[in-house]
Structure 1
Amino acid sequence: MKIIHFSDTHLGFSDLDVVNEAGINQREADFYKAFSDVIDAIVETRPDYVMHTGDLFHRASPSNRAITFALTQLKRLEEAKIPFIIIAGNHSTPRTSTSSPILQALRTLDNIHPVFEQHYEKVEFDDVIFHALPHVNDERIIPDELEQVEASIDAGRKNILMMHCSVGAHYLMHEFGEWVFPKEKEYLFEKMDYVALGHWHGFGAVGKHKNVFYSGSTERTSSSDKREEKGYVLLDFENGPSVELNTINLRRTRSFTIDTEHYEEAVAGLDLSGIEDALVEVVLTNLTTATSIDITNKEIAAIFGTALHVKVKREFKAAEGSASPDDIESVSLESCFVSHIVESVESREEQERLAGKAKALFARYEESDDDAL
C-alpha cells in the first residue's frame, strides 16, 4: 500500500506587490504552481490513497480564483479514481458557526472525502481506516474526540490518524485557534500505523515517535521560512512504513549581509549569481542614523535588480552612552530620531541635512498613513 501525504498548501496566499503576466499576484501564482506540481506527482505515482492534513486554502473565505483552481486540480484525482481524504485546518475553518465551511464544496466530488465539521470522523476502506480529526475551535472537546479515535481502532486494518495541530509547544505557529495535542494522550500514537500531521510548515518526525510526521507546507508563507526542501511525503507500507520526502521546485531564496562600515567594499564583493527572480533578504549591519538615511531601500533593491523582491533588514550599532528605553521620555518618534541625529553627527551642516531628510520622510509616511484611514 502506498499513500501520499501533503499539507498546508494555503491556496490564495499572496504577498509582495508583484504581479505576473496574467495579472495575478506572483506569490499567489507560486502557491498554485506548488499545488499543481504535487497533483502531477500523484497522478504519475498513482498511490492507493492521498491525504491532505489541513489548510488547503489560506483563508476560510477564499477567492473565486483559489476555489476554481482547487476544484480543477482535485478533479484530476477524481478522474484518476484516487481516493483523497482531507481535513480542515485552522486557516480553512470559520471562526463563527454562521459561516459555511469552504471544504463542504468538495463533497460534490465522489472520490474526495472532506472532514471539516470540527469533530472526529473515520473514513473507512477495506484495508485502512483514516481517523480524521480536523481543526476545532473549542479545544475543550479534544479529549472526548480522542476517546472516539481510540475506540475506533481496528487491528485488522491499517490505522492512520490525521490531525492539524501542534504536538508539543515547539511546533506552535502562534496563530489564532491553534491547539496542542495533549501529552497524556500521546500513547495513542503507538496504536497507529502512521500519524499524519499538518500545521507546522517543516517536514520531519516528531520527537521520539518514529511514525508521527509533519509533511510540511508546499510553499513558504513567511520570509523567515528559508526551508528549500518542501513537497510531499510518500509512504510505503510494504516494509514499515517507509517515509520519504519528495521535493518540488520552489522559487529560490538568497540572503546577504552588508557591513555598512565598509559599504562600498562589501557591495563590490557580493556574489549575485542565482538571484534572478529570487526572493532576496539583505541585512544591513553596523548602521548609524546617518548611514541608515543615506542608504535607501531603493538603492539596495537596485543592486539586486534581477530579483523578484528584495527585503531589507536594518541592524543599528549601539551608540556609546546611549540611553536605555526606560530612560527615554515619551516623545514622538520623529523628535526622538532628529535628536539622535544631532547627538550622533558632529557637523552642523550635516545635522541640518539629515534632519531635513528625516522630517521629509516622516511627513511622507504620515500622508500615506492618513490615506489608508
Structure 2
Amino acid sequence: MTKAIAILHLSDIHMGSGFSHGRINPKTGLNTRLEDFVNTLSQCIDRAINQPVDLVLFGGDAFPDATPPPYVQEAFACQFRRLADAKIPTVLLVGNHDQHSQGNGGASLSIYRTLAVPGFIVGDSIKTHRIATRNGEIQVITLPWLTRSTLLTRPETEGLSLAEVNDLLIKKLEPVLEAEIRQLDRTIPTVLLGHLMVDRANLGAERFLAVGKGFTIPISLLIRPEFDYVALGHVHKHQNLNPSNDPPIIYPGSIERVDFSEEKEEKGYVSIEIAKGKVTWEFCPLPARPFCTIEVDASEKDDPQAAILNAIAKKKIENAVVRLIYKIRSEQLDAIDNGAIQEALKSAHSYTIRPELVSQLARPRLPELGVGTSLDPIEALKTYLTSRDDLKDIMPDLLEAAQSLLDSDRDSWLETEEEKGTKTQLTLEIGE
C-alpha cells in the first residue's frame, strides 16, 4: 500500500516587518518583533522536524522586500538550514516581496540556489519539479508571482486598460500552465504551489503591503482534477477557496501579524497528508503576538480620564501590541493625565496613544442621513451641504465636482507611471 506523503505548507513570513510595534531587547540587541517572527517560524520548523514531514512548501514573501538587512537574512536562514540538516526537501517559492523592483527573479531567495543548499528548490519560474521524499515521489508545479513583463511585451500592453491587461495575462498564462499539466506523471501526487491573488480570495493585510503590479487569477484555472492540492501564498488571511476539497485550494495565511489590519486573524500553517487522489489537511494555529485596539469616545464624558482608564482595564493587554485611540474636546485636555494612562498600559508589549480632538463646531443631526436611509450619493451630499451655512456659497461647485467624479470612468482613477519607457497602470491600494 502506498504511504501518504506528509507536507507542511506555510507562507508569508515577512521576517523583518513591524519593527515599529516592537522595542530593542537589551539582552540580544534585536527588535522584539524580529524575535516574534523567528519564534513562530521556529515552531513551524520544529513541527516539520519532529513529526517528521516529508516535504516543506513555502508559498512566498520571506521578507518585506528583496534586500533585507544581513542579520534578518541570517535569522531566516538559520531556521531553514535546520530543514536541510534534517534532509527534508523544501520548495521556496518567489513572492512579490521577494522580487527586486529593477528586475525579475527572487533576489532575496536566489542565494539558496546559488549555494546549492541540499534539498532546496527555489521556485522562480513556472516549472514542474519531481521530488523524491522518504515516502515516495511527488511533483510540484511552481507558479511564482507574475508581473506583466513576465508574460507580455511592451507592444502588447501599450494603450490597454488594467482590466484588458489582466485578461491578456490570463490568456498568456493558460497555455503555459496547460503545457506543464500535460507533462505530469499521473501515477504520483501533484501539488500546485502558487503565489497569487485568486478572484475568490478574502483579502487580508496584503492589500496594504503590495504595490498592485500583479493580476487576479480566476479560480477555474486552479480547480483541476490533475491537482491533488493547491498550496497558495500572498493573502495573509487563512482560507480554503474550494470547500468541496476537489482539490483543496488553501491560503495558510501569514505566520505572524504584520499590523493592526490582522488583529482578529488567527495565524498558523497547514499540515497535509497526500497520496494520489487522496488528501487530508488541517490548519495548525500558532501563538502569534496579540494585537489590541482600544477606542474610547470620551468627548461627552464628565471625567474623560476615568473613561479612558476604564476602557483600558476591560481589555487583555498583557504582552500585546496595543493602540489606544481616544476622542476628547480641547477644553478636556487639562483633565488628561498622560502619565497615568502610560502606567495603565505598561503591561503591554508595546503601545501607541493617539488622541483625537473633536471639532468645536456643533454638528447638525440629519435623520435623512441616518442608518436605513437610501439616498443616492448626490442627494446625500446635497442634504448635508444644505445644513452647512458655511458651505452654501460653494455648494453648486461641490455638487458639480462630486457628479463629475461619479460619472468618470473607473480607469481614470488609476495612476500611471513611466516604467522602462512604457506606460503601466498601478492598482489603487485600499487604505486601512
Q: Report TM bin, short chain.
A: 0.7 to 0.9
1:303 corresponds, among 330, 344, 362, to: 344
Displacement of 1:171 in angstroms is 4.1
Whole-Å separation in 2 of the counterparts to 1:278 and 1:89: 29
In structure 2, distance between residues paired with 1:161 and 1:44: 25
Are the counterparts in 1 of residues 99 and 105 from structure 2 also a CA contact under 8 Å? Answer: no
Question: In the TM superposition, what is the alpha-carbon distance from 1:105 to its structure 2 partner?
Answer: 0.8
Are the structure 2 counterparts of residues 268 and 92 from structure 1 closer, same or farther at C-alpha, using a change threshold of 3 Å?
closer
Moved more, 148-157 or 197-206: 148-157
Question: By how many angstroms is 1:144 displaced?
Answer: 4.2
Counterpart CA distance in 2 for 1:83 and 1:328 is 69
The 1:278/1:183 distance shift into structure 2, 3 A limit, reads closer
Q: Does residue 1:112 correspond to 2:120, yes or no?
A: yes
In the other structure, the counterpart of 2:406 is none
Note if contact 2:98-2:106 (Cα within 8 Å) is conserved in structure 1.
no
Q: Give the superposition deviation at 1:214.
A: 0.2
Q: CA deviation at 1:73?
A: 1.5
Amino acid at match of 1:142: L
Deviations along 1:116-157, whole A, 9 cap, x unmatched?
2xx301110353110101112226353343233332333211
Which of residues 20, 23, 37 in structure 2 aligns to 1:18?
23
Structure-to-structure mapping, 1:74-89, within 5 angstroms: 74-89=80-95
* Partner Cα separation in structure 1 for residue 392 and residue 339 of structure 2: 31
1:277 aligned onto 2:302: no
What is aligned with 1:203? 238
Shift of 1:23: 1.8
Give aligned-pair identity as a percent.
24
After superposition, the C-alpha distances for 1:35-66 in whole angstroms (9 at most, x for unaligned) are 11211111111111110000112210111012
Aligned to 1:226: 263
Check the 8 A contact 1:60/1:92 in 2, yes or no.
Answer: yes
Greater RCO, CA 8 A, separation 6+: 2
Which of residues 137, 151, 161 in structure 1 aligns to 2:192?
161
Equivalent position SS for 1:10: coil
Asked if structure 2 preserves the Cα contact closer than 8 Å seen for 1:258 and 1:266, the reply is: yes
For 1:78-157, list aligned pairs within 5 A. Answer: 78-97=84-103, 101-107=107-113, 108=115, 109-116=117-124, 119-125=125-131, 127-138=137-148, 140=169, 141-157=172-188
In 1, the alpha carbon distance for the partners of 2:241 and 2:66 equals 28
Residue matched to 1:70: 76
Whether the 8 Å contact between 1:120 and 1:134 is mirrored in structure 2 is: yes
1:49·1:84 contact (CA, 8 Å) conserved in 2?
yes
Deviations 1:206-244 (A, max 9, x none): 155521000110111111211352121001226942221
Q: Give 1:281 deviation, angstroms.
A: 2.5
- Cα 1:97–1:257 change in 2 (3 A) is closer
- The one-letter code matched in structure 2 to 1:248 is L
Matching residue within 280, 284, 306 for 1:242: 280
The 1:304–1:237 alpha-carbon spacing in structure 2 relative to 1, beyond 3 Å, is: same
Q: 1:193 aligns with which of 224, 228, 249?
A: 228
The whole-number CA distance in structure 1 between the counterparts of 2:334 and 2:130 is 63
Query: In the alignment, which of 276, 290, 293 is matched to residue 252 of structure 1?
Result: 290
Q: 2:10 aligns with which of 6, 13, 19?
A: 6
**Does the CA contact (< 8 Å) of 2:200 and 2:241 recur in 1?**
no
Q: Does residue 181 of structure 1 match 2:181?
A: no
**Following TM superposition, by how much is the alpha carbon of 1:67 offset from its aligned partner in structure 2, in angstroms?**
1.5
| Preserved CA contact (<8 Å) 1:120 1:148 | no
Indicate if the aligned counterparts of 1:82 and 1:111 stay in contact, CA closer than 8 A: yes
For residue 85 of structure 1, give the secondary structure of its aligned residue in structure 2. strand
RMSD of aligned residue pairs (Cα, Å): 3.1
* Residue aligning to 1:343: none
Deviation of 1:293 after TM superposition, in Å, equals 8.4
Q: 1:148 to 1:63 in 2, by over 3 A?
A: farther
Name the CA distance, whole Å, in 2 between partners of 1:209 and 1:284.
Answer: 45
Report the AA paired with residue 37 of structure 1. Answer: Q
User: Cα distance 1:329–1:13, how it changes in 2: closer, same or farther (>3 A)?
Assistant: farther
Do 2:237 and 2:251's aligned partners in 1 also have CA atoms closer than 8 Å? yes
Inter-CA distance 98–142: structure 2 relative to 1 (3 Å threshold): closer
Letter in 2 for 1:194: Y
**Paired residues of 1:7 and 1:215 also in contact (CA < 8 A):** yes
Give the drift of 1:278.
Answer: 1.3
Out of 139-148 and 80-89, give the one that drifted further: 139-148
Are the equivalent residues in 2 in contact too, given 1:2–1:236 (CA < 8 A)? Answer: yes
Structure 2 residues without counterparts, runs of 5 or longer: 152-168, 365-383, 395-432
Distance, in Å, in 2 between the alignment partners of 1:164 and 1:209 is 22
1:67-117 per-position Cα deviation (integer Å, ceiling 9, x unaligned): 21222222211111111011010001112228872211112211111112x
CA distance 1:243–1:98, change in 2 (3 Å):
closer
Q: Please, which runs of 5 or more residues in structure 1 have no aligned partner?
A: 331-373
Write the distance in 2 (CA, Å) between the matches of 1:298 and 1:144.
Answer: 64
CA contact (8 A) 2:62 2:98 kept: yes
For 2:62 and 2:187, how far apart are their aligned partners in 1? Answer: 31
TM-score by length of 2: 0.67
